[in-house]
Chain A
Amino acid sequence: MTTAQPLAIQDQLIALLAERFGLDQTTIDPQVTFSSLELDSLALVEFTVTLEEDFGVPVDEEDVTAENTVGELAALMADKLTAQGQAAG
């Protein structure tokens, strides 16, 4: 059974956010919400597409909202990856 590691995923999310939206990686911590990163609604949708492409799991628009923190999203992605690993046997 595969268990995805939230901390590793968190680091990956922070790196992705910094790369895609030109943010300073050092300003993004797990408690920060997407609204405080000043990402508008289309940027969040763009980020869900990127997450699907990079992680290979379905991500809904509702999974990435302005109120979510980076840490919450990392935990959710870890759950999705673990579920996918279990489904794959």
Chain B
Amino acid sequence: MNPAPIVCGMGTSIPEQVVTNDDLSEFLDTSDAWIRQRTGIRERRVVRPGTSTGDLAVLAAEGALKSAGSGEADLVILATTTPDHPCPATAPDVAQRIGLTGVPAFDLSAVCSGFLYGLSCAAGFIRSGAAERVLLIGADTYSTILNPTDRTTRAIFGDGAGAMVLRAGHPGEPGELAGVTLGSDGALRDLITIPEGGSRHPVGDELTAEGRYFTMRGKSVYRHAVQRMVESATRACELAGWRLSEVDHLVAHQANARIISAVGERLRLPAERCAVNLDRLGNTAAASIPLALADAATAGALRPGHRTLLTAFGGGATWGGAALTWPDITPVAV
């Protein structure tokens, strides 16, 4: 029988600097009431100049390895849209900084679905026997790619990192990743994009000021996100052999409180079973699912044995769902 991927450690890192809605309304045409009504967000964390995605990833990874009780891993995957450099990938640097020099390490680009894409990769490596212990990190510093004058994206996104260690184990063990599903649709490429600075419009060309920044068509994203997150959560549940009514927690990508409640409602999961921490952290992109998992576990809402459903939608467009039983672990915040 093939080994099963088992979650055995979690770590998180968020920047110290808090930016409240009132802080934003000092220089943008917005208000605390407007932001809270449309997004559910009260404040977000933002890195200070000089702190990179890799810096946050290192801290979260150290927390996850500590939580797992061992500094060992034989593969490092970093899901991010905001790597330290366009080239090379950030994962090898992170691996070296945490004492894992020589271990294979790569970045994974699936925007806000990145952590679920990473989970699927980690599971595949473990099931095939190609890896025994995988360190998966979701880390982003969207504050470095947002248009300073865009009140919508400025209000939504925050910075942060979350990491998870998965090991080879036996089917049915607590912490088992019991089902993962992924999908994409490139026809929706313009919904969430940094239009310029890649090979389509290279840096050598004359770039527009706007085109270098992250942009999002919020209304279309809302619509596709609700539909795809409901589909993939349902599919992940089927793959795990669970009924939706048996799900203890839905930990959805923390995009927008109204998306989470629309998804929860369609899955017939009461609000108390739907994890929300975006009020304090905003949308932290690839970091949002591990940060929400760690917060729910630390608060005691997510307990060992709980059937936990994950789902995300992001740029690409990409989406995914995953089902896991929550293990008896203590997330470590660094």
Q: Which residues of A contact B (CB under 8 A)?
A: 40-42, 45-46, 48-49, 61
Interface of B is mostly: helix
Is the CB–CB distance between B220 and A61 below 8 Å? yes
> Is A48 within 8 A of B223, CB to CB?
yes
**Chief secondary structure at chain A's binding surface:** helix
- Does B96 belong to the interface (CB within 8 Å)? no
Within 8 Å CB of A61, what residues of B? Answer: 219-220, 223
Please determine whether B262 and A49 come into contact, CB atoms closer than 8 angstroms: yes
Q: How large is the interface on B (under 10, 10 to 19, 20 to 34, 35 or more residues)?
A: 10 to 19
**Alpha-carbon distance A46/B225, docked complex (angstroms):** 11
A46: chain B residues within 8 A (beta carbon): 222, 226, 258, 262
CA distance A45 to B262 in the complex (A): 11
Closest partner residue, chain A, to B256 (CB atom): A42
Contacts of A41 in B (CB 8 A): 219
| Residue from B38, B219, B220 whose CB has the most chain A CB atoms within 10 Å | B219
A-side contacts of B38, CB under 8 Å: 40, 42
CB distance from A54 to the nearest CB of B (A): 12
Roughly how many angstroms separate A46 CA and B219 CA in the complex, as a whole number? 9
Rounded to whole angstroms, the CA-CA distance of A49 and B219 in the bound complex is: 11
The CA-CA distance from A48 to B262 in the complex, in Å, is 12
CA of A49 to CA of B266, assembled, Å: 11
A-B contact pairs, 13 of them (CB 8 A): A40-B37, A40-B38, A41-B219, A42-B218, A42-B222, A45-B219, A45-B223, A46-B222, A46-B226, A46-B258, A48-B223, A49-B223, A61-B219
| Residue B30 at the chain A interface, CB threshold 8 Å | no
**Residues of chain B with a CB closer than 8 A to A49's CB:** 223, 226-227, 262
On chain B, the residues within 8 Å of A42 by CB distance are: 38, 218-219, 222, 256, 258
